[in-house]
Amino acid sequence: MLKLIAAVAFVSLCSTLTVCAQKSVVRPPGAEPSASWSHGILVGDTLFISGMGEDANGKIPGVFEAEVKQALDNVGAVLKTGGMSSGDVVSVQVYLTDAETFERMNAVYKAYFKEPRPTRTTVVVAKLVGQGHIEITTTARK
């Protein structure tokens, strides 16, 4: 019976902590807020970052490797604002519009994320919203 009471108390505590965890928007300096998405959301010590490939002027770089670097730089700006770095990233999702660009993306990616690299899923999609060829979303934890 004591084990059952302890288990119920533990589940109740975990539920309370989850409900009490505050969500806060993390937006790099100079970044404009969007009506439909957030650059990053911090919940407790976990930061969820949207995939963004445009530069500060909303332009997509003309060279694919530059677009990958821009997407990673955007992730880095949100990480920095949230008090984290690329070393805190635990999971990455990469969306490519062309499977033929995988190795080119991977070369830039490996220069950005050092060992041990985060988990990663790479998906080839028919199209992204806008003119981009890649989006990278991440989850980081302090």
Give the model's pLDDT for residue 19. Answer: 52
Query: Roughly how many angstroms between the first and final C-alpha of the chain, as a whole number?
Result: 37
**Sheet bearing 40-43, strands edge to edge:** 23-26, 40-43, 46-49, 134-141, 89-96, 119-124
* Cβ partners under 8 Å of residue 54, min gap 6: 60, 70, 74, 130, 132
Instruction: Provide the mean pLDDT of the chain.
Output: 88
The fraction of the chain above a pLDDT of 90, given in percent, is: 73
pLDDT value at position 10? 47
Per-residue pLDDT tens digits for 44-103: 999 999 988 888 888 999 999 999 999 999 999 999 999 999 999 999 999 999 999 999
List Cβ neighbours of 23 (8 Å cut-off, separation of 6 or more). Answer: 41, 42, 43
Contact yes or no for 51/135 (Cβ under 8 A):
yes
User: What CATH number belongs to 38-141?
Assistant: 3.30.1330.40
| Cα–Cα distance for residue pair 1/3, rounded to 1 Å | 5
What is this structure's pTM? 0.83
Which amino acid type is present at position 104? Answer: R
Question: Where are the domains positioned within the chain?
Answer: 38-141
pLDDT at 11 over 60: no
